[in-house]
Amino acid sequence: MATAPAASDAGSKSKLLVFDSKEDLAVSLAKYTAELSEKFAAERGAFTVVLSGGSLIDALSKLTEPPYLESVDWSKWHVFWVDERVVPKDHEDSNYKLAFDGFLSKVPIPPGQVYAINDALSAEGAADDYEACLKQLVKNGVIAMSTATGFPRFDLQLLGMGPDGHIASLFPGHPLVNEKERWVTYIKDSPKPPPERITFTFPVINSSAYIAMVVTGAGKAGPVQKALSDKQTSSDLLPIEMAVLQDGEFTWFTDKPAVSLLQNK
Ligand SMILES: O=C(O)[C@H](O)[C@@H](O)[C@H](O)[C@H](O)COP(=O)(O)O
């Protein structure tokens, strides 16, 4: 069972949820996502959802089961990746394959509404192509635009964080964290293999309406503590600390080991 909402010291529109087990976290994440699906389907006639790779996909397992399998209006979903490895879609490193095997193959989202990268292109080409795809979907009204930032405003980004504090393929100390113009960019020297990836930039991540940051395990306690402490300084920020929504709601889905270094948990 969730012991939360517990502390919420990350800002006015930030919530910290701490769960006793991965099972409890998955139950809550499914309910949260299904409620947002209903809200955006009613308000906009579409629900734009961004996925990361990693352990996040396992945490979505409850959405593929009753009651959500039947109750969610999957026909409204449009699915994107916050980052993708530049490998063929059937490669074991592919975030598309991970999401397809663990989630997308189990729910009836129309295949034309699942926006994978063009895996025939180079990293640079795939980033350009993905950005062009997003621009077209903004034009069609599928993806909303943020009037505050001038960047696309995804309804929900479901993200994970690495033990070094990276999110998407935005790594600590890498110049890509400072990208201010592009919507999608590429990296050829990712410290986490494989090296070639495309990634959303911070302006796009931070223009979201909702972010669920799913972080479990003691290996991530350091960056969680840094991100949720009050002692943030303007220099030397980890990527997770740069994820600050302009006008949205940021919810941490964590477990006890992940928050074990927090003072007032
Ligand atoms: O392609 C990737 O590598 C992922 O999208 C990456 O950003 C991931 O979300 C984090 O590394 C967290 O992964 P874990 O939850 O597995 O630690």
Q: What is the pLDDT of residues 142-193, one digit of tens each?
A: 999 999 899 999 999 999 999 999 999 999 999 999 999 999 999 999 999 9
Q: Are 145 and 138 in contact (CB under 8 A)?
A: yes
Helical (H) or strand (E) element with 83 = strand 83-85
Q: Which of 146, 117, 156 is nearest to 32 (CA)?
A: 156
Atom of ligand 1 nearest to the CA of 52: 5
User: Is 130 a residue whose pLDDT tops 50?
Assistant: yes
Q: Is 160 helix (H, G, I), strand (E, B) or coil?
A: strand
For 18-219+242-259, CATH gives 3.40.50.1360
92 vs 44: CA distance, rounded Å = 35
The domain locations on the chain are 18-219+242-259
Residue 52 Cβ inside 6 Å of ligand 1? The answer reads: yes
**Is ipTM > 0.95 here?**
yes
Condensed to tens digits (0 to 9), the pLDDT of residues 50-91 reads: 999 999 999 999 999 999 999 999 999 999 999 999 999 999
Here the tokens at position 241 are 């600390």
- In the structure, what pLDDT confidence band is assigned to residue 235 with cuts at 50, 70 and 90? confident
Ligand 1 pocket test, pick from 51, 52, 157 with the greatest ligand atom count within 8 Å of Cβ, gives 52
Which of 28-32, 198-202, 232-236 shows the lowest per-residue confidence on average (mean pLDDT)? 232-236
Which of 97-106, 168-177, 212-221, 232-241 shows the lowest per-residue confidence on average (mean pLDDT)? 232-241
Q: Are 190 and 171 in contact (CB under 8 A)?
A: yes
DSSP 3-state percent helix, strand, coil across the chain (nearest 5) = 35, 20, 45
Atom of ligand 1 nearest to the CA of 219: 17
pTM for the whole thing?
Answer: 0.95
Here the tokens at position 139 are 């034009």
- pLDDT attached to residue 236: 85
